[in-house]
Structure 1
Amino acid sequence: MQMLPYMLAALAVGIVVSFQPPLNGMLARSVGSAYGAAAVSIGVAFASILLFLLVMGHGEISRRTLGSVPWWVYLSGTVGAAFVAAGAAIAPVTGGLVFFICIVAGQLVGSMLVDHFGAFGLEVRSMSFMRLLGLVMVLGGAVLVSRS
């Protein structure tokens, strides 16, 4: 499988996602609440995904398939809500770059642990010196950017 198109698509999504916290921050200032802004943002996201389902298809969403998933898998929605609310509350204080460097650093730490232990059905990819070095470099970048 050719990886480059997927990497470019992920890069494009990352660029667009970087707009979400400052936009939600603007919304939070308007409505007077980061959580209110998150609720509006997630409501728009819900409406958008319903439209995508109509256009792209919905797979097999049924009581049977949804019931076969462990209960804790549904916490991913809570994680999404926390991210949206955190962006609305934190990015206006830190700025977009520091916010996302810290988010990415946290994602890298979490992802490295998920890979190392093969959590959530992923293939085990053990920690290595190079992976740890890359992580330390990102964390160092977070410190450098926050001091400028």
Structure 2
Amino acid sequence: MRYFLMILILLVGCLMPIQASVNAKLGSFLKAPMVAALVNFLVGGIILFLVVLLTRPSNNLMQTIKEAPFHAWIGGAIGAIYVSSVIFLVPRLGAALSFGLIVAGQLIFSLLIDHYGLFGIPVQPVNWGRILGVFLILAGVFVIQKF
């Protein structure tokens, strides 16, 4: 099951440069990157609204929402910053360099989250193998940037 989930998340990762490319195209077409980001979230919000309506979550959803910790609410703001930044930067840096740097940033901060158990994530200490993995990603970004 673990390998299936790993393949699934790899495939989901493949969607990110596609999303960035089509959002960047929309931003260029509209001549307004922030409007393109808004359209992205509106379409996604409508789809999620329909999914929630069709799946009918538990009756105590509103009470559960009220009890969520503060940091659980910042995901939407982070998503807005991320999508807006990608729409602006991908046309200027290219998809490969942009996503190489995004992955490097994700891995660096993911190691901190794992090591310290931030945001309720189970602790997984940093080790030399994980650090080497980040350096290999950074080396790959350097090669992409050079060529």
Does TM-score exceed 0.5, indicating one fold?
yes
User: Which TM-score bucket, shorter chain as reference?
Assistant: over 0.9
**What amino acid is the match of 2:7?**
L
> Separation in 1 of the partners of 2:136 and 2:14?
21
Q: Which runs of 5+ in 1 are unaligned?
A: none
**TM-score under structure 2 length normalisation:** 0.94
In the alignment, the residues of structure 2 paired with residue 68 and residue 118 of structure 1 have an alpha-carbon distance, to the nearest angstrom, of: 21
Hey, what does 1:5 align to over in structure 2?
4
Q: Secondary structure at the match of 1:19?
A: helix
* Superposed displacement of residue 124, structure 1: 0.7
Number of equivalences: 147
- In the alignment, the residues of structure 2 paired with residue 136 and residue 60 of structure 1 have an alpha-carbon distance, to the nearest angstrom, of 47
Residue 32 of structure 1 corresponds to 31
Query: What's the TM-score, normalizing by structure 1?
Result: 0.93
Q: Cα RMSD between the aligned structures?
A: 1.4
Q: What are the superposed Cα offsets for residues 88-136 of structure 1, whole Å, 9 maximum, x if unpaired? A: 1000111111111111100001100000001111111111000000001
Where does 1:1-148 land on structure 2 (aligned, <5 Å)? 2-59=1-58, 62-148=61-147
TM-aligned CA distance change 1:108 to 1:89, over 3 Å: same
| Paired-residue identity, % | 28
- Using a 3 Å threshold, how does the CA distance of structure 1 residues 120 and 52 change in structure 2: closer, same or farther? same
Q: Which has the higher contact order (CA 8 A, sep 6+)?
A: 1
Unaligned runs of 5+ in 2: none
Going from structure 1 to structure 2, the CA distance change for 1:53 and 1:19 (only over 3 Å counts) comes to same
